[in-house]
Amino acid sequence: MFLVGLTGGIASGKSSVIQVFQQLGCAVIDVDIIARHIVQPGYPAHRRIVEAFGTEVLLENGDIDRKVLGDLIFNQPDRRHLLNSITHPEICKEMMKETFKYFLRGYRYVILDIPLLFETKKLLKYMKHTVVVYCDRDTQLARLMRRNNLSREDAEARIKAQLPLKDKARMARHVLDNSGEWSVTKRQVVLLHTELEHSLEYLPLRLGVLTGLAGIVGLLYFLTHYLLPSP
């Protein structure tokens, strides 16, 4: 099994593309959901965040106040690095757990929905394929203004706060162009799924795991039949 990192930008249509993949029966892991999950009370990351940033980052119910924490690390590279050093290992562990579940169920590939895939680059090394849901700047602007009822100025400010989609598209292995009709985008998703599903890139890992399991079974057989005393 191999991993596919999927990303996009604000109002590019990433969520709609993810829904199509899910309708096709694909395994999808939302890294944002994992990131929110691992900082809940009772988890190691929650305790370490409170130790590092103080109780001021807590809401009355004990949850992390994401806005306060965001303000604390804004334009503070050292603090941002500290937070990442706490959360990223826990995110990776949960991501691997979820991925292994899909591996055991026989999926050939798993899609990881990662909003900041190219910005942080932390998870890129795990991805066999990278996909960007792209649309041109004018389309992105018009969709954002309509969807969020924003002025042109506010919408442009939100778009400028992100890495431009054209830059992400240059770094990605696959680009799904969602600038036009939705039917055209959907057809691109189906074609990409077909390409990934028929890829043989999942075989080396699966064969390696099966070989390892066969070795363990063989070792156990040898121990129980030749080295352990008979009753």
Residue carrying structure tokens 């792209």: 134
Q: What is the pLDDT of residue 35?
A: 92
Query: Which ranges in the chain belong to alpha helices (H)?
Result: 14-23, 31-37, 44-53, 66-73, 77-104, 117-120, 137-148, 152-160, 165-171, 182-197, 203-222
CB 112 within 8 A of CB 8: no
Residues of the chain predicted below pLDDT 70? 202-215, 217-231
Q: Cα separation of 52 and 29, whole Å?
A: 28
**Could you give the CA distance from residue 165 to residue 226 in angstroms, rounded to a whole number?**
62
- Grouping H, G, I as helix, E, B as strand and the rest as coil, residue 38 is coil
Q: What is the pLDDT of residue 199?
A: 85
Q: Is 111 helix (H, G, I), strand (E, B) or coil?
A: strand
What's the pLDDT score for residue 120?
85
pTM score? 0.77
For residue 202, what pLDDT is reported?
57
Q: Determine the pLDDT at residue 73.
A: 86
